[in-house]
Structure 1
Amino acid sequence: MASLTTAGSTTAASTGTAPNISLRGIGKSYSGVSVLRDVDLNIGAGEVHSLVGENGAGKSTLLKILGGAVRADHGTLSFDGEQAAISGPRDAIRHGVSLISQEGALVPAMTVLENVFLGRWSNRFGLARRRADRARFDELIDVTGFAVDPQARVDRLPMGTRQQVEILRALARGATVLAMDEPTAVLTEHEKENLLGLIRRLAAGGTTVILVSHFLDEVLAVADRVTVLRDGALVITDDASQLTPTTLVRHMVGREIDVLHAEPAPVQPDAPVRLAARGLRRGLVDGVDLSVRAGEIVGIAGLVGSGRSETLRLLFGADRASGGVVELDGETLTRLTPRKAMAAGIALVPESRKEEGLVMVRSVRENVALASLAGRRYGPFVRPAAERTSVDDVSRTVDIRAAQPAAAVETLSGGNQQKALFAKWLLREPRVLLIDEPTRGVDVAAKTQIHRLVVELARNGMAVVVVSSEIEEVLGLSHRVLVLRQGRVVGEFPRGAPREDVMAAAFGHA
């Protein structure tokens, strides 16, 4: 595989100033499928430049090429007019570029401080100087305004805080270019506002920020210029002030689409309570009561650490409750486990599709079929014809777009991976669907499809519980919204409630 063209000697990291970046003719293919096609792009020093497009448009691949995580098949990359060879992350860092990816690159068993200065600890005569590192850490905290415990282990931190650690590490490396892939996808509203403010401050100080995001309002609020990619090709680059969410969507998908939330059907007045919990508790969850009727969508809002995801895990039996009861159609589910929950008709779409939902190296068909194998077994064998028919039918229902069902699910875009996760559970025809972050990391078109799918499932009588960090998503999808704070339900709001009221309850200002 060819690398990018040979390097010059001057680096942005050595001068402490952000470079002007030029990409010319960048191309990349996987297994014969082109994901980037001769992309030309200029990024000015000290600007916030956003890349937008549908899943699979090539945004993340372009960012990874710049950050050294992926090598281009052809094309050139230049910093301040000098061509550079970027064959790995070390080369990118040498030029002042630090990649902050969706997947993260922290060492889970190490502390925040150890991760921030990994490979760059202060030392004298080969001995680490932790006091000096702590002083440097405190300086970074002053710059960013983050509240992160330097001695906390990373694997015990919520996703939003891990994102902050990634940013601290990039700044500790002296990065003058931050290449950020969906940096706000795991953050609460308050954390998003803080991060966008930090991006503006960094850019004002001369740092270049290249931002990939599916949140179009966020893009237009913070970016100086926006580049739209579609099917691996550059469609347009324009000043953010000249664009709107509607025009961006039109450039992204090549047509007009309705980006509004689908309207849920009214719940039937005599609809029975399908799922109920009383006094549910364990860890962060401290006595949660909730009920969901057949055909109803109940949203759960709250800050990171409020117990949102933990509540869903208790309802599914993924964690064993230390107190309280869960009832399905009036019957108590004792000693609940995922196996018992599935047998009773409860399904959980987890927060992380890569870590908890899908087997990334296996095929689309195998992943979709995984949760319902027992229904297609004949003795110890699976009936392949029945499996193909079932998987193909549900894949069409949720509109999974894959080159072929035998393709590994890791080759799909984020939106199609998320659809595969929904399809996996829909094959079981559950009575209750618990959804944690239904559209995290998916583009606007896939988000619209998933929202319509959730509304249609409820219309057909399914009881749905939705957890989302996007307050607009919770409000747009739900018939009712419960707000959690410190593991307790502190507010309940009907459809149409003001966003400000819900946020005030989450922050404890209601």
Structure 2
Amino acid sequence: MSGCSRTPSSKPSGRAETTASTGLPRCGPVDPKGGAGMTDTEIAVRMRGVAKSFGKTRILNDISIDFLQGSVHALVGENGAGKSSVGKIIGGYYAADEGTVEINGETVSRFSPRDALQRGVAMIHQELQLVPELTVLQNVFLGLESQYAGVLVQGDLARFRALEETCQFGLDPHAKVARLRIAERQKVEIMRAVAREARIIIMDEPTSSLTEDEAERLHALIARLKARGKTIIYVSHFLDHIIANCDRVTVMRDGRVIHTDSMAGETKQSLVDSMLGQASEISWPALPAAPAAAVPPLVELKEVCSDTGLDGVSLTIRPGEIVGLIGLVGSGRSEIGRVLFGADRITSGSYLLDGQDQDRLTINKAVQQGLALVPEDRRKQGLVLTQTTRPNVSLASLDKISRYGVLNPRRERARVERMIDHFGIVPRRVDGDVAFYSGGNQQKVLLSKWAVETPRLLILDEPSRGVDIGARQRIHEFIVEMAEAGTAILLISSEIEEVINLSHRGYLMSGGRIFAEASCADLNVDEALNRIFHEQGADPSSPERIIA
């Protein structure tokens, strides 16, 4: 794990040759169809010349890839490159308009997710497909329930415990999914795929909500599945995870395959260069100077407790300051953000905004006072997926573009177009269908909702979850821009490295409490984790530690 150095470094590509078309690093001879010298019995999924369009928008062009049996095959590329669409065609959610798809040597045409399951294909979606009002156990075995003569019978609990021995996620089978955190829901989705005994498992951003320790557990599970001959198609923006755990990689750009190759010889930098189509350094933006300690805080919590588990939390955030919350899943980070936004109730302690007590703060009052929250679940809590880009961007600031309750459509359109240009949202349409945008572009729309009127306090909960490296860098730049404009920022992220590199100060959390404060210039990831585990009374070097 790396520390908090903000100086970009030049890294060797690790590749000896370059492509003729782009001049980018390449590694050895590559079959353009992705499977040179492989026999049919070694290929779990074969795609040839696959294309897919929605209306006039072409999302996949001439996709030819071989996914080998008993291997972990990564799909990488920027948001909108087509990675998830490839997975959805294999998983039966999309039908190819052109080309052929073979599953275990048999050509399939139009087939549904149910048909895919019958062929041994299961998909874990980035946007989770769970039933919130059912329990963990019921979601895991949905459609696979124990029954006798068509009547459900007791017996799934023993099956769940056997499955838990394989997955080792530590989930309560009787917990209702609606009450679980995003990371725990992601584990349920993974268990559901494993429970179906699929031979081919498509994992779309499986670690996007997991801590590093939880990600290691997932990767250990993937290794066990691979040893059993399973094929894992791994879609992720976490390039370190891909390099460490995948056998082969397909780089995609603009709906096309750039190349498919062995992971040997790839580096994080070479993958980024291939994804972007140009050499590009991986770096963190320089932070503006931190406000002086004498500057009065914009917000202050004093010994705050909440009915969601906060226990005597005290913190301050000054205008123009980026303050990070450093802790593991379940430490209370999101709960602090929700309290500051008026979404959760304070049971004791005080919350001051501009020195004024906010005893009965509501979300509506928070927005009126210039407070903004980008939640961790953009689809369920941040966006209105039945609406287009325009109302999604305008929703929080309608009073600024209305007179006597009548909306000014010309002014609204101009503001939305400005945000589309500012963030580089694709497609560049004011009335684009947000529900079908890539994760990174959905996140940009959500950020635009608050950026269109510069907020006084911006609470960012997992702002770069499930986005590509290009979108991630733009989001990081946006955070710095907001701080430079005088906005106070609270940054919450499961990626401790992200918090450290983008924050002036950090509060370390565990069990709903803040137990330490540190300057992020003097902190690194390993030290932060060691302090957290020490606070929990756990051995940070033990492979058996469980983070929930």
Per the TM superposition, whether the score is higher than 0.5 is yes
Q: Structure 1 length as normaliser, TM-score?
A: 0.93
CA distance in 1, matches of 2:192, 2:151: 21
Unaligned segments of structure 2, at least 5 residues:
1-40, 539-548
The alpha-carbon distance between structure 1 residues 75 and 364, as it changes in their structure 2 partners (threshold 3 A), is same
Residue 503 of structure 2 corresponds to residue 478 of structure 1: yes
Given that residues 310 and 335 in structure 2 are in contact (C-alpha distance below 8 angstroms), is that contact kept between their aligned partners in structure 1?
yes
Q: Structure 1 residue 493: deviation in Å?
A: 2.2
Given that residues 284 and 306 in structure 1 are in contact (C-alpha distance below 8 angstroms), is that contact kept between their aligned partners in structure 2?
no
Q: Which residue of 2 aligns with 1:5?
A: none
CA distance in 2, matches of 1:412, 1:258: 27
Q: Which residue of 1 aligns with 2:349?
A: 324
CA distance in 2, matches of 1:113, 1:74: 39
In the alignment, which of 246, 251, 270 is matched to residue 247 of structure 1? Answer: 270
Residues 402-452 of structure 1 show CA distances to partners (whole Å, capped at 9, x for unaligned) of 231111222322222211111111223211111111111110001001101
Q: Which residue of 2 aligns with 1:55?
A: 79
The code of the aligned residue for 1:505 comes to R
Residue 431 of structure 2 corresponds to residue 398 of structure 1: no
Q: Structure 1 residue 326: deviation in Å?
A: 1.6
**Residues 65-76 of structure 1 mapped to structure 2, 5 A cutoff:** 65-76=89-100
CA distance in 2, matches of 1:256, 1:271: 42
CA distance in 1, matches of 2:351, 2:419: 29
Given that residues 18 and 206 in structure 1 are in contact (C-alpha distance below 8 angstroms), is that contact kept between their aligned partners in structure 2?
no
CA distance in 2, matches of 1:149, 1:334: 35
Greater mean deviation of Cα atoms: 291-300 or 76-85: 76-85
The alpha-carbon distance between structure 1 residues 382 and 120, as it changes in their structure 2 partners (threshold 3 A), is same
Residues 60-107 of structure 1 show CA distances to partners (whole Å, capped at 9, x for unaligned) of 011011111111112211133221245101111111110010122222
The code of the aligned residue for 2:115 comes to D
Q: Structure 1 residue 327: deviation in Å?
A: 1.5
The alpha-carbon distance between structure 1 residues 86 and 203, as it changes in their structure 2 partners (threshold 3 A), is farther
The alpha-carbon distance between structure 1 residues 18 and 325, as it changes in their structure 2 partners (threshold 3 A), is farther
Residue aligned with 1:68, SS: coil
Q: Which residue of 2 aligns with 1:3?
A: none
The code of the aligned residue for 2:515 comes to V
Given that residues 85 and 91 in structure 1 are in contact (C-alpha distance below 8 angstroms), is that contact kept between their aligned partners in structure 2?
no
Residues 270-307 of structure 1 show CA distances to partners (whole Å, capped at 9, x for unaligned) of 43311111122212211211101111100112122111
Given that residues 18 and 208 in structure 1 are in contact (C-alpha distance below 8 angstroms), is that contact kept between their aligned partners in structure 2?
no
Q: Structure 1 residue 389: deviation in Å?
A: 2.4
Residue 224 of structure 2 corresponds to residue 193 of structure 1: no
Unaligned segments of structure 1, at least 5 residues:
1-16
In the alignment, which of 359, 362, 366 is matched to residue 384 of structure 2? Answer: 359
The code of the aligned residue for 1:30 comes to F
In the alignment, which of 122, 127, 143 is matched to residue 166 of structure 2? Answer: 143
Residues 101-158 of structure 1 show CA distances to partners (whole Å, capped at 9, x for unaligned) of 0122222111222222222222333343423x22222211111222111111111222
Given that residues 431 and 462 in structure 1 are in contact (C-alpha distance below 8 angstroms), is that contact kept between their aligned partners in structure 2?
yes
Q: Which residue of 1 aligns with 2:527?
A: 501
Which structure's relative contact order is higher, taking Cα pairs within 8 Å and 6+ residues apart? 2
Greater mean deviation of Cα atoms: 282-291 or 268-277: 268-277
Given that residues 95 and 109 in structure 2 are in contact (C-alpha distance below 8 angstroms), is that contact kept between their aligned partners in structure 1?
no
**Residues 6-405 of structure 1 mapped to structure 2, 5 A cutoff:** 20-131=44-155, 133-269=156-292, 270-282=294-306, 283-405=308-430
Given that residues 300 and 468 in structure 1 are in contact (C-alpha distance below 8 angstroms), is that contact kept between their aligned partners in structure 2?
yes
In the alignment, which of 396, 417, 423 is matched to residue 448 of structure 2? Answer: 423
C-alpha RMSD of matched pairs (Å):
1.7
Given that residues 305 and 348 in structure 2 are in contact (C-alpha distance below 8 angstroms), is that contact kept between their aligned partners in structure 1?
yes
Residue aligned with 2:446, SS: helix
Greater mean deviation of Cα atoms: 135-144 or 306-315: 135-144
Residue 500 of structure 2 corresponds to residue 465 of structure 1: no
Q: Structure 2 length as normaliser, TM-score?
A: 0.87
CA distance in 2, matches of 1:25, 1:255: 26
The code of the aligned residue for 1:88 comes to S
Given that residues 277 and 327 in structure 1 are in contact (C-alpha distance below 8 angstroms), is that contact kept between their aligned partners in structure 2?
yes
Identity %: 44
The alpha-carbon distance between structure 1 residues 358 and 18, as it changes in their structure 2 partners (threshold 3 A), is farther
Residue 498 of structure 2 corresponds to residue 448 of structure 1: no
CA distance in 1, matches of 2:411, 2:398: 10
Residue aligned with 1:259, SS: coil
Given that residues 454 and 482 in structure 2 are in contact (C-alpha distance below 8 angstroms), is that contact kept between their aligned partners in structure 1?
no
The code of the aligned residue for 1:53 comes to G
Given that residues 420 and 428 in structure 2 are in contact (C-alpha distance below 8 angstroms), is that contact kept between their aligned partners in structure 1?
no
The code of the aligned residue for 2:200 comes to V
The code of the aligned residue for 1:25 comes to G
Residue aligned with 1:335, SS: coil
The alpha-carbon distance between structure 1 residues 96 and 375, as it changes in their structure 2 partners (threshold 3 A), is same
Greater mean deviation of Cα atoms: 208-217 or 79-88: 79-88
The alpha-carbon distance between structure 1 residues 80 and 350, as it changes in their structure 2 partners (threshold 3 A), is closer
CA distance in 2, matches of 1:169, 1:268: 48
Residue aligned with 2:411, SS: helix
Residue aligned with 1:285, SS: coil
Q: Structure 1 residue 509: deviation in Å?
A: 4.8
Residue aligned with 1:492, SS: strand
Greater mean deviation of Cα atoms: 95-104 or 158-167: 158-167
Residue aligned with 1:440, SS: coil
Greater mean deviation of Cα atoms: 249-258 or 411-420: 411-420
CA distance in 1, matches of 2:290, 2:225: 48
The alpha-carbon distance between structure 1 residues 398 and 327, as it changes in their structure 2 partners (threshold 3 A), is farther
Residue aligned with 2:312, SS: strand
Given that residues 78 and 469 in structure 2 are in contact (C-alpha distance below 8 angstroms), is that contact kept between their aligned partners in structure 1?
yes
The alpha-carbon distance between structure 1 residues 83 and 311, as it changes in their structure 2 partners (threshold 3 A), is same
Given that residues 284 and 305 in structure 1 are in contact (C-alpha distance below 8 angstroms), is that contact kept between their aligned partners in structure 2?
no
Greater mean deviation of Cα atoms: 327-336 or 455-464: 327-336
Q: Structure 1 residue 19: deviation in Å?
A: 5.9
CA distance in 2, matches of 1:164, 1:386: 44
The alpha-carbon distance between structure 1 residues 297 and 248, as it changes in their structure 2 partners (threshold 3 A), is same
Q: Structure 1 residue 488: deviation in Å?
A: 0.3
CA distance in 1, matches of 2:409, 2:124: 42
CA distance in 2, matches of 1:376, 1:32: 32
Given that residues 82 and 254 in structure 2 are in contact (C-alpha distance below 8 angstroms), is that contact kept between their aligned partners in structure 1?
yes
The alpha-carbon distance between structure 1 residues 172 and 377, as it changes in their structure 2 partners (threshold 3 A), is same
Given that residues 269 and 281 in structure 2 are in contact (C-alpha distance below 8 angstroms), is that contact kept between their aligned partners in structure 1?
no
The code of the aligned residue for 1:203 comes to K
CA distance in 2, matches of 1:393, 1:362: 19
